[in-house]
Amino acid sequence: MNLSFYKRIAAVSAFLLVSFALTGCTFDLNSIGIKKVPQDLQETATFSPDINKKLEMAMTEGMLLNKTPGALVGIWSPKGNWVHAQGYADLKTGRLANVNDLFRIASLTKTFTANAVLILADQGKLNLDDKLSKYVAGIKNGDKITIRQVLNMTAGIYDFTYDDQFSKDFYDNPTMAFTSDDLLKVLNRHKPDFVPGKQYKYSNTNYWLLGMVIEKVTGQKADDYITENVIKPSGLKNTIFPKDATVPEKAMRGYTIKNWRLQDISEVNPAIPWTAGIMISDLQDLKTWVKSNAEGKLLSPQMQAEHIKWVSDQEHPGKIGYGAGLMNIQGFIGHAGQIFGYVTFIGYMPEKDMTMVLAVNNGEAEQGNPNTMLTLIYKALAEANLLDK
């Protein structure tokens, strides 16, 4: 399956999607190259047929634009639910996507890491005003950067995933060895992005370093601490820190574009994304987690106030705010994620008591926007008057 295939069906689907929207007709997904998943692999949709159709069309268009083999979307609200799987979980075997599939959650991992740090602050084992250098040596400006600034992306620490050599090595071999020494070597090749506290810039390095902070404070492996103090108390049954490069048998495989073809890139050394992006979960667990996390169920009122103290994203003023491992995206409180092979999103809108979880198994989007499907679904919900104030 290659890009030319998708370009052909994208041209056809653009016409068909508009035509179906204008005429109100139903459509056959197979005719435009998307595999329709049987009803027994879906959950019952309880919105009106018209809303269900709009959501399915948005999901289909998003799959075509992002060239993704499979997708999972869950929407739950007092006005109805829509939990849907579409396409393939595994191109090699032809296994269809299933609403119960596991998947890598990418940067949604940061929401769990942030909770672990805030719990330690609640317990008095660290202070958010502590300097990073107290726990991690060798970071430029580490004696000026606070733990709070690491959490809310105002630390100015270079994002190691943007380093050209690292990116090439990881792209060529996602299971390559990687340690804290390797991270520091990358960081030492670059200057800090800005003076700590002076602006906002998203950096995966921040949450890798917070994993080191957790281990320094607790004397435990970060994944063990997060499992015992965040995952289990939240009642999550299918959320894990993987111990090796593989994904479970019941997981969606992840794909990326190499040599103009979609290639399986599911296997990743967990030490590379680590506490910034390696966890695995499913729709139902993330449905539970996103609301609990948004409401700060594991935190004291004081720490929850830190959790949702929004810093403005200058690239999206008024649309996106970042707290302590938490995003506010146009009223949805949660996080977005992207890793080789997967794009994810979780969001809870308190005003509407609405929860949304999304996962697709292609981590590269030719359109330059990994959240194309999310944008389309948000638009469909708005057009259905489900997001009205």
CA distances for 177 relative to 161, 185, 198, 216, 219, angstroms: 15, 14, 34, 22, 23
Q: What average pLDDT score do residues 222-245 get?
A: 97
Tally helices (H) and strands (E) across the chain: 11, 13
Residue 315 scores a pLDDT above 80 = no
- The pair of structure tokens assigned to 307 is 């959790």
Q: What average pLDDT score do residues 344-359 get?
A: 96
pLDDT of residue 321: 92
**313 vs 61, higher pLDDT:** 61
The CA distance from 221 to 265, in Å, is 26
Greatest Cα pair distance in the chain? 64
CA distances for 378 relative to 329, 331, 354, 358, angstroms: 11, 11, 12, 11
Reading phi first (left if > 0) and then psi (alpha if -120 to 50, else beta), residue 236 is in: beta
The domains found in the chain, sorted by start residue, are 3-99 (no CATH), 103-364 (3.40.710.10)
Which of 323, 374, 317 is closest to 71 using CA atoms? 374
Residue 198 scores a pLDDT above 50 = yes
CA distances for 198 relative to 134, 159, 226, 316, angstroms: 21, 17, 30, 17
Residue 313 scores a pLDDT above 90 = no
Burial class (CB in 10 A: 0-12, 13-18, 19+), 301: exposed
pLDDT of residue 41: 47
The CA distance from 135 to 103, in Å, is 32
pLDDT of residue 367: 42
Percent of the chain with pLDDT over 90: 75
For 117-163, the pLDDT digits (tens) are 999 999 999 999 999 999 999 999 999 999 999 999 999 999 999 99
Q: What average pLDDT score do residues 313-338 get?
A: 88
Amino acid at 82: W
Which of 160, 208, 202, 213 is closest to 185 using CA atoms? 160
Cα-based angle 19, 20, 26 (whole degrees, multiple of 5): 155
Amino acid at 78: P
Which of 150, 169, 170 is closest to 212 using CA atoms? 150
pLDDT band, residue 287 (cuts 50/70/90): very high
